[in-house]
Amino acid sequence: MNRKRFTCAVALCAWSIGAGLSAYSNAAETAPPAEVVLFVGSLSAQNAVDRRQGILDELEGKPVPKPAASGATIALPKITLKAGEKPRIGFVTNTAAQFWTIARAGFDKALKEFDAEGEFRISAAGTAAEQKAILEDLVTKGVHAIAISPVDPDNQTPLLNEIARNVFLITHDSDAPKSSRILYLGTVNYLAGREAGKLIKEAVGAGRPIRVVDTRTDNADSARAKANVQDVLVSRPGVACLAGLWAYNGPAIASVLREAKLAGKIQCVCFDEEAATLQAIRDGVIHATVVQKPYEFGYQAVKILAALARGDQSVIPPTRAVDTGVTVVRKSNVDEFEKWLNGLVKGTK
């Protein structure tokens, strides 16, 4: 082959490769987006709102905003313990779930370590009315401080403000930022949502456009949570990923995918460490879960509130938020995580 023909051949090859890459790129850009459906108990709860927004922003590639110091004035109740008196602390959940069993282990340990007394109250129905009754009962019993995960923060704000005038009040798990609560303790749910968004991209596949097409709520009803998943499989047969934002959503999604024989064909990402969720990860039904640290919710709540009851305000950070962080659990670390978790709950860690 002479030099002229060789040059032409190289040019033709380069053009062919470039054309092929261009065609691949155009195909990726024009491919229909992977559909994602979110499942959660309620969009009235701040944790659900923040997690959902975090997922949306991550999928859209938006930058992560930087936290800022709170400019709000802190009005603390006038409480003085008598000589030898122990701080009495109430802890209120937003639902009944295994998640809160872990939080209780931390709560009970901290009561001993910080020489306090406490009541751990589970909101079985997960309603604002039930939480109101619990809060009023705790105040009547003379607690000095309360940590609560409000189910409907906007509508509960007047009640929370009233409670905050009488006891040291903090929120955990789900915030009520417009209320007079002293601080928020727990997962920064927006950032946890960003982590879930990364896992959704990982599960669906790199380079594929992704779009959240629906958010289904179930009012903390496990039967309705499962029915929502079944309905989505019928109404959106091409759905690529199902994401559960509350603890029981993961097991509900996994159960339906197993029954429909779609495990591994439709991806799943969820939150928290329900036993059924961890088993579904082992089985390849759930891609991964974003695990909060409920043990720290219980433990840190007592630590902070006992300090406040004793007059120590140094436990209040400038941001008025204490981030307990998250852990991502997938097939590669699920056994190690569950062993650690069991030891934590049993008090052997």
* Measured distance between the N- and C-terminal CA atoms of the chain, rounded to whole angstroms: 74
Q: Are residues 244 and 280 in the same domain?
A: yes
d(CA 89, CA 85): 12
Q: Are residues 194 and 308 in the same domain?
A: no
Cβ contacts of 160 within 8 Å, gap of 6 or more: 148, 150, 153, 169, 176, 179, 180, 181
Query: With the CA atoms of 20, 26, 29 and 32 taken in that order, what torsion angle do they form, in degrees rounded to the nearest 10?
Result: -90
Judge whether 205 lies within some domain.
Answer: yes
Q: Are residues 113 and 147 in the same domain?
A: yes
Judge whether 20 lies within some domain.
Answer: no
8 Å CB contact between 99 and 272: yes
Judge whether 216 lies within some domain.
Answer: yes
Q: Are residues 98 and 229 in the same domain?
A: no
Distance of CA 260 to the CA centre of its chain: 27
Token digits of residue 97: 């779930």
Cβ contacts of 43 within 8 Å, gap of 6 or more: 49, 52, 215, 217
Q: What is the pLDDT along the chain (349 residues), one digit of tens a residue?
A: 454 444 444 444 444 444 444 444 454 456 789 999 999 999 998 899 999 999 999 999 999 998 776 667 788 999 999 999 999 999 999 988 888 999 999 999 999 999 999 999 999 988 999 999 999 999 999 999 999 999 999 999 999 999 999 999 999 999 999 999 999 999 999 999 999 999 999 999 978 899 999 999 999 899 999 999 999 999 999 999 999 999 999 999 999 999 999 999 999 999 999 999 999 999 999 999 999 999 999 999 999 999 999 999 999 999 999 999 999 999 999 999 999 998 887 764 4
pTM for the predicted model, two decimal places: 0.80
Q: Are residues 184 and 300 in the same domain?
A: yes
The three-state secondary structure class of 178 is coil
Token digits of residue 12: 């033709």
* Secondary structure of 269-299 in HEC code, one letter for each residue: EEECCCHHHHHHHHCCCCCEEEECCHHHHHH
Q: Which CATH number do you get for residue 124?
A: 3.40.50.2300
Q: Are residues 103 and 159 in the same domain?
A: yes
Cβ contacts of 67 within 8 Å, gap of 6 or more: 188, 319, 321
Q: Are residues 101 and 216 in the same domain?
A: no
Domain extent for 338? 88-188+294-319+334-346
User: What is the number of structural domains in the chain?
Assistant: 2
Judge whether 178 lies within some domain.
Answer: yes
Quick: pLDDT tens for 101-117.
Answer: 999 999 999 999 999 99
Judge whether 204 lies within some domain.
Answer: yes
Q: Are residues 104 and 155 in the same domain?
A: yes
Q: Are residues 314 and 232 in the same domain?
A: no
Q: Are residues 242 and 148 in the same domain?
A: no
Judge whether 213 lies within some domain.
Answer: yes
Judge whether 44 lies within some domain.
Answer: yes
Dihedral of alpha carbons 105, 111, 113, 114, sign: positive
pLDDT at 60: 95
Q: Are residues 193 and 223 in the same domain?
A: yes
Judge whether 17 lies within some domain.
Answer: no
Q: Are residues 94 and 238 in the same domain?
A: no
pLDDT at 7: 47
pLDDT at 8: 42
